[in-house]
Structure 1
Amino acid sequence: MMSGAPKDVGIRAMELYFPNSYVEESELEEFNKVSSGRYTVGLGVKEMGFCGVEEDVTSISLTVLSALLKNYQIDKSSVGYIIVGSETITDKSKGVFTALSQLFDKNNEIFGAECIGACYAGTSALFNAIDWIYANWQRERKYAVVVMADIAVYAPGPARCTGGAGAFAALIGPDAAVAFEEGLRSAVLKDVWDFYKPVCGLSTEYAFLNGQLSLESYLRMLDFAYENYKRKAFKLRGIGISLSDFQAVMLHCPFSKLVQKGFGRLVYKDYMEGLQDSLVEPELLDTINKNLWEEKALPNLFFNLRIGNMYTASLYAQLFGLFHSKRQKYSPAAYTEILAARETFTNGKKCENIFSYITLLQQ
């Protein structure tokens, strides 16, 4: 076990879970009597996973964490912190992390916490886990576990096709295969009522959604976060950066066409700042954008296109697509109506040790 101050803190092992039930979006178009391609082409969705009555956010969290511990043979006594990021609650007081404690046998000396903040809650939980390692490693010598789990369900209507379900779990510690670069986080905080789930006097799991405002907020927050990120990167490194500096880019994915639109805005920003050397003529921008999208972002959406929106886990499902393509450096951004965040990761030589197991509940 490593001694001294922790270095290269990040993801040492990870696991993805998704339910075994799904619907073809093309069949959903037919069922809802909408034009062919409205979902599959207009939104860029292929399939949508959903949970049966036997599953809830607690059970899928237990499933993904149990698989993480088993598949990577993690010593349960080596874990000192559990944190869950989710916007799907089953109890207004008792957090999901308390249920996860039953997986650690006799190890009950574990700190725990829960993050709620729409889709950003997963990234918030991850940041908290990383910071816990930095703050406690020299004394505790214990790892952190982060779980992100959500079930996205919408009322009948235009948003229902953008549902989904899934859970992500990761072991956080020093000397990680996916190490987070210190000091290079960017955040934008804003209170927007585009998506919310009030609990007082209501018994529905459906969110109140202002679709147009939500799309605008996603793109606006992404703009601000990218600008802040560039400023911080220049302050730390003394050089400007662009998407060309990353071998892969991931954005939070409610549906792929929104990710593509957000990616295009980042390319355009780089172009306007003169950071894309290859963008010589404005008329070439669409072609360059398409090429960059297909090279750096689209391959990572393999699971998202087939599972749908997993809220907190949607960004991190793209890690699996990333490792399939064996890239070594990437930059993701997570969005919610409250906050957009961006963090740089540098993948070390231990990538082969983190290639994850995909857990699918068998009938």
Structure 2
Amino acid sequence: MTIGIEKLTVYAGRLRLDIPDLVAARDALDAAYVQTQLMCEQRSVYPPFEDAVTLAVNAAKAILTPEDLESIALLIVGTESAVDCGKPVSTWVHRLCGLKANCRNFEVKHACYGTTGALKMASAWLATQNDPTKKALIINSDLSRKFLNTPYEPTGGGCAVAMLVSQTPEILEFDLNRVGYWTSEISDTFRPTSKTEIFNGQISLYSYLDALDGAYQHYEKTIGSVDYDAAFKKHIYHAPFPGMPLQAHRNQLSGLGLSKKAAIANFEQKVSDSLVFAKRIGMAYGGSTFLNLLSLLNTAEDLQAGDEISIFAYGSGCQGEFYSGTIGENAIAQVRSLNLENTLAARHLLTVEDYENLELLREQSIDAQTWQREHPLIDKVYAAAYDGQELLVLESVQDYQRSYQWS
């Protein structure tokens, strides 16, 4: 039995901010540091009528056929941006995507690891099924909170990644036994309230690298010794910001005796293609490794079906998982047919002032008992980027009940 990702896509909204514009408006941001260390170029921006529900639905609707809707018997949404503490995002996704009633659905949370856990849970479920037509829909949907005038403001963003998991892994096939994982309780990055996002940068950096070391050692303990450079054609790392995978890759190569120059060249050859989309979207949270897989398949010219790649997922709190996968027969053609580069380029460019005001308006809408899509700036961006696009948007909140409609 083969198991893996059959379809994969990303929804990154309809608005963007160019990071050089942000840097020019912030005296405290160093342009060279943002460009060479963070490696941020653009970020997606979301108006108050986008949330974890709209992102998830807009991503999933793009890949689902009527046949898929009949086959999906499991739906899991990973998010740390939920709109309700009891009712899961998955319930809205189930209804608005038109899935059948005989379907399990629930929401999971473990910072940026949750959706990798959901993928592995769904894959284990598929391995028990006698019906080869059954499928699982796995989605990560997250967007950053207000980062205005903070050191990590250039890294903000968000998106939804949706994947169909089945016994027909046209994108990526993996063996559930070829995996290593590592966990340790730590408060490196967390959200103590629905409006607050806390970053302990140095702690998180070292926790990430500890988890990478621990998960990879467990991987080798499980399957045997591996030549890290020779065994994998490409490497995918969780990217809380696009510059982090460079540090992670140098960490992995440290035992090979490579010079700094050689390590960077190795990174450019085996990792950099996976970061093209992250540089243009910003944080993808639990969708990061899957966004990077999309980028790799869309960009790399030396990748082909049957190639083995490595993937490292990390979630603050913390959990690390290292696993490998095999590129599917239709992976490159399928991803490139999505025209994701054109979709990202078509996002409406915001001024820094409009971005700032949208962030403030979005923060005000979080947890609001009553909210209406009525504001001159909101009307402006809706007309410029959403009207007529047939995307799901939040129309109103009345006594905490959310109403959605198609744009």
Task: Give the TM-score band, short-chain normalised.
Answer: 0.7 to 0.9
Residue pair 1:181, 1:346 contacting (<8 A) in 2 also: no
Q: What is the CA deviation profile of residues 109-157 of structure 1, one whole-angstrom value per residue up to 9, with x for unaligned ones?
A: 101121100000111111111111112x205841111001110234331
Residue pair 2:8, 2:294 contacting (<8 A) in 1 also: no
Q: Distance in 2 between matches of 1:310 and 1:257?
A: 14
Q: Which residue of 1 aligns with 2:290?
A: 316
Query: Which letter does structure 1 place at the counterpart of 2:162?
Result: A
Instruction: Work out whether 1:76 is the aligned partner of 2:69.
Output: yes
Q: Distance in 2 between matches of 1:141 and 1:99?
A: 24
CA 76–299 in structure 1, closer or farther in 2 if over 3 Å, else same: same
Q: Which residue of 2 aligns with 1:287?
A: 261
- RMSD, aligned α-carbons: 1.9
Q: Which runs of 4+ in 1 moved over 6 A?
A: none
Query: Which letter does structure 2 place at the counterpart of 1:318?
Result: N
Q: Distance in 1 between matches of 2:166 and 2:101?
A: 19
How far the C-alpha of 1:103 sits from its partner, in A, is 3.7
Q: Which residue of 1 aligns with 2:103?
A: 110
Q: Distance in 1 between matches of 2:151 and 2:157?
A: 14
Residue pair 1:226, 1:266 contacting (<8 A) in 2 also: no
Q: Scaled by the length of structure 2, what TM-score is found?
A: 0.78
Q: Which residue of 1 aligns with 2:174?
A: 180
Q: Secondary structure at the match of 1:243?
A: helix
Q: Which residue of 2 aligns with 1:44?
A: 39
Instruction: Work out whether 1:66 is the aligned partner of 2:46.
Output: no
> For 1:96, which of 75, 84, 89 is the aligned residue?
89
> For 1:23, which of 17, 21, 29 is the aligned residue?
17
Instruction: Work out whether 1:342 is the aligned partner of 2:322.
Output: yes
Indicate the structure whose relative CO is greater, using CA pairs within 8 Å and at least 6 residues apart. Answer: 1
Query: Which letter does structure 1 place at the counterpart of 2:265?
Result: N
> For 1:261, which of 247, 262, 265 is the aligned residue?
247
Residue pair 1:150, 1:167 contacting (<8 A) in 2 also: yes
Residue pair 1:251, 1:315 contacting (<8 A) in 2 also: yes
Q: Which residue of 2 aligns with 1:127?
A: 120
For 1:344-363, list aligned pairs within 5 A: 344-351=324-331, 354-355=334-335, 357=338, 358=340, 362-363=385-386
Query: Which letter does structure 2 place at the counterpart of 1:148?
Result: N
Aligned residues: 334
Q: Scaled by the length of structure 1, what TM-score is found?
A: 0.87
How far the C-alpha of 1:170 sits from its partner, in A, is 0.8
List runs of 5+ in structure 2 lacking aligned partners. 348-384, 387-407
Q: Distance in 2 between matches of 1:8 and 1:354?
A: 19
Q: Secondary structure at the match of 1:14?
A: strand
CA 25–142 in structure 1, closer or farther in 2 if over 3 Å, else same: same
Q: Which residue of 2 aligns with 1:277?
A: none
Residue pair 1:153, 1:160 contacting (<8 A) in 2 also: no
Instruction: Work out whether 1:210 is the aligned partner of 2:200.
Output: yes
Query: Which letter does structure 1 place at the counterpart of 2:3?
Result: V
Q: Distance in 2 between matches of 1:91 and 1:320?
A: 30
